[in-house]
Amino acid sequence: MSYGRKITLKSSDGETFEVDEAVGSESQTIKHMIEDDCADNAIPLPNVTSKMLSKVIEYCKKHVETPKPDDNDELKAWDADFVKVDQATLFDIILAANYLNINSLLDLTCQTVADMIKDKTPEEIRKTFHIKNDFTPEAEEEVRKENQWAFE
Amino acid sequence: MGCLISTMDDKESKNSRWSKLHTDLLVLVLKKLCFQDIIRFKAVCSSWNKAAQSYISSPSYSLHQAPCLMRQTHHKDGSFPHTLFSFTEKKIYILRDDITRVDSESCIGSSHGWMMILRKSNIPVVVKNPFSLQRFKLPTVENLQITLYIDTAILLSDPFRSKNSNLSVVVVLYGGYKRLAFCNVAGEAWTQFFEARNGDEIVKSIQSHNGQLYVLSRDFCVQVWDFNHDPFPTKTRNLKPSPLLFIGHYPAYKYIRLAYLIESMGELLVVLRIVYYKLNHTKTVNFHVIKLDFKGEKWEKVENLQGRALLVGCPSISVSIKEFPEFEDNSIYFLDDNYNLSIGDMGVYNMGNKSIKPFDELDKLQETTSPKPSFWIVPNPW
């Protein structure tokens, strides 16, 4: 089912993707470019790789195709599966959703990150996201003392 | 806070991208975390620490935080720390035990995340943050005819988030619930601005809302005071609704009626808590909720809270169930908040089936009695 015209998106590594205008418009960034009449040729997206762009298009297509997206349990389950990716991919999706200004995807991915943080100690959070503890020993001690009770 | 980023090898530089995630995106994640998780988030690395600090200082912070329950209980080791119960995490946290001086200080409630502590001295009120221990030094009461006994004290706004922190106002109710006085947080003196002229005007409850003071008197009249114009507050509204409907038969020798003024979704509500009172035994037996009609001319009964829970105490807070599903819909959460009269029970009243039950998962909390009142607090982790 496709109404309206098609637009072409071009990833940072030169791959092109043809999508319905409605699907592309899930991204406020792309939507503005269409409105500003910049969409006659391929819309260049230098900050999004082809791998990420195809992921994002998959998300937008699904959301455009689903009736009553705010109240749809099947869509919620689909979304939950969509974000079952490794944390490196999750990171890239967040950046892509932010650059392309897709609110629902940004909200979904940030909630996923929040769920990965909940109830974990700082050390466990660092392990999950491969973050290095870059506090000086003094700074670290200060943080611990301030809030010892939250770390149990 | 010092920040030393040591050199990273290839693997780590690839994997440490999360620490370099832009502050705006980190804040989107922070908005979805409860207070305790934000504390742990702060301790992950220096860039996350900065993002958390920036979020906590922003005006939108407190809008998304669920209230917690704070009380002081005797600990096994003999200390007397404050404990924090989070309904979100269903966990009890033991805070440091030096927040108040046991013998001479008593916290009667919180206001905008700050503890309101009463003490027996010529500076009878201390405003203190339980996490950072930051405090505001308030003036002495030498110029007031104040008995050293204060009934309650509240802040009208958060001193750290007000446009001008020096104008943040503290209001005290004293003299047997008859007088109101105020001072600015950085002020020099207390000033009395109200005195009850008869029994009807005795104050039953005070609340802050939008920086203004709401006062409920015994005859269920409501005054609204504005403190924006120096040097003296102005009464902007003086509502005298027609007398209260018959609420129920609660003879004064057996029952106490506590009243909690609370603003909820643009409406002014009063929660009446009926306590059955015998010398060594008090028990909360019933609740009634009334609201002021749109014109302020009469009180109307409220049968259903429609998507809200009301947490009554000092302060009283209305929570949206959609935003905070850890609370039960159409319910009133009450505490052992009235230690003058030894009202020592806590629990949840369901407006639908009119039943009272203890808090879930709070067996540990309810086993211990506390000689000091419990209160709600929206944590403010400065």
Model pLDDT for residues B274-294, shown as the tens digit of each residue: 999 887 778 999 999 999 988
Cα–Cα nearest to B169, from B264, B260, B100, B233: B233
In the structure, what pLDDT confidence band is assigned to residue B2 with cuts at 50, 70 and 90? Answer: very low
Chain B contacts of A122, Cβ < 8 Å? 40-41, 43-44
In the block, tokens 């002021």 appear at B292
Q: Is the pLDDT of residue B6 over 70?
A: no
Question: What's the pLDDT at B72?
Answer: 84
pTM of the model: 0.79
Task: For an interface test with A, give the residue of B10, B29, B93, B132 to mutate (most A CBs within 10 A).
Answer: B29
Nearest to B93 among A88, A131, A150 (CB): A150
Of residues B242 and A15, the one with the higher pLDDT is A15
| CA distance, residue B46 to nearest chain A CA (Å) | 6
In the structure, what pLDDT confidence band is assigned to residue A53 with cuts at 50, 70 and 90? Answer: very high
In the block, tokens 């010892």 appear at A148
Of residues B75 and B355, the one with the higher pLDDT is B355
Mean pLDDT throughout A8-29? Answer: 94
Question: What's the pLDDT at B143?
Answer: 67
Question: What's the pLDDT at A103?
Answer: 95
Question: What's the pLDDT at B1?
Answer: 45
User: What is the ipTM, given to two decimal places?
Assistant: 0.92
Spatial separation of the C-alpha atoms in residues B346 and B358, rounded to whole Å: 7
Q: Is the pLDDT of residue B260 over 90?
A: yes
Task: For an interface test with A, give the residue of B40, B79, B91, B380 to mutate (most A CBs within 10 A).
Answer: B40
Whether A151 sits inside 8 A of B46 (CB atoms) is: no
Q: Is the pLDDT of residue B365 over 70?
A: no
Of residues B339 and A57, the one with the higher pLDDT is A57
The chain B residue lying nearest A88, using CA atoms, is B15
The chain A residue lying nearest B33, using CA atoms, is A114
Mean pLDDT throughout B264-268? Answer: 90
Of residues B103 and B335, the one with the higher pLDDT is B335
Question: What's the pLDDT at B3?
Answer: 41
Whether B18 sits inside 8 A of A146 (CB atoms) is: no
Q: Is the pLDDT of residue B66 over 70?
A: yes
Which one of B42-51, B225-234, B331-340 scores highest in mean pLDDT? B42-51
Q: What are the tokens at B241?
A: 């609704």
Mean pLDDT throughout B300-308? Answer: 93
Question: What's the pLDDT at B367?
Answer: 56
Q: Is the dihedral of CA A145, B112, B312, B351 positive or negative?
A: negative
Q: Is the pLDDT of residue B63 over 80?
A: no
Q: B180 pairs with which residues across the strands?
A: B173, B194
Question: What's the pLDDT at B12?
Answer: 47
| CA distance, residue B169 to nearest chain A CA (Å) | 28
Question: What's the pLDDT at B364?
Answer: 62
Q: Is the pLDDT of residue B5 over 60?
A: no
Q: What is the pLDDT of residues B182-211, one digit of tens each?
A: 998 888 888 999 999 999 999 999 999 888
Question: What's the pLDDT at B189?
Answer: 86
Q: Is the pLDDT of residue A57 over 70?
A: yes
Question: What's the pLDDT at B145?
Answer: 62
Looking at every residue in chain B, the average pLDDT score rounds to: 84
Mean pLDDT throughout A91-115? Answer: 96
Does residue A65 belong to the interface with chain B, where contact is any CB pair within 8 Å? no
- Pairing relation of β-strands A43-44 and A6-10? parallel
Mean pLDDT throughout B342-358? Answer: 89
In the structure, what pLDDT confidence band is assigned to residue A3 with cuts at 50, 70 and 90? Answer: low
Spatial separation of the C-alpha atoms in residues B157 and B150, rounded to whole Å: 20
Question: What's the pLDDT at B247?
Answer: 77
Nearest to A150 among B19, B32, B39 (CB): B39
Q: Is the pLDDT of residue A134 over 70?
A: yes
Question: What's the pLDDT at B279?
Answer: 74
Question: What's the pLDDT at B8?
Answer: 43
Tell me which residues of chain B have a C-beta less than 8 Å from any C-beta of chain A.
Answer: 1-6, 8, 12, 15-19, 21-22, 25, 28-29, 31-34, 36-37, 39-46, 48-49, 84, 89, 93-96, 131-132, 381
| CA distance, residue A3 to nearest chain B CA (Å) | 34
User: What are the φ/ψ torsions at residue B199 (nearest 5 degrees)?
Assistant: -60, -35
Q: Is the pLDDT of residue B4 over 60?
A: no
Neighbours of A141 (CB within 10 A): 11
Whether B36 sits inside 8 A of A150 (CB atoms) is: yes
B-facing residues of A in 92-131 (CB < 8 A) are: 94, 98, 106-107, 110-111, 113-114, 117-122, 125-126, 129-131
pLDDT above 70 covers what percent of chain A?
A: 96
Question: What's the pLDDT at B10?
Answer: 45
| CA distance, residue B310 to nearest chain A CA (Å) | 26
Spatial separation of the C-alpha atoms in residues B187 and B185, rounded to whole Å: 5
Q: What is the pLDDT of residues B153-178, one digit of tens each?
A: 999 988 877 666 567 899 999 888 99
Whether B2 sits inside 8 A of A136 (CB atoms) is: yes
The residues near B348 (Cβ < 8 Å, ≥ 6 apart) are: B328, B331, B332, B333, B334, B356, B357, B358, B359
Q: Is the pLDDT of residue B225 over 90?
A: yes
CA distances from B314 to A136, A139, B114, B317, B335 (A): 41, 36, 12, 9, 9
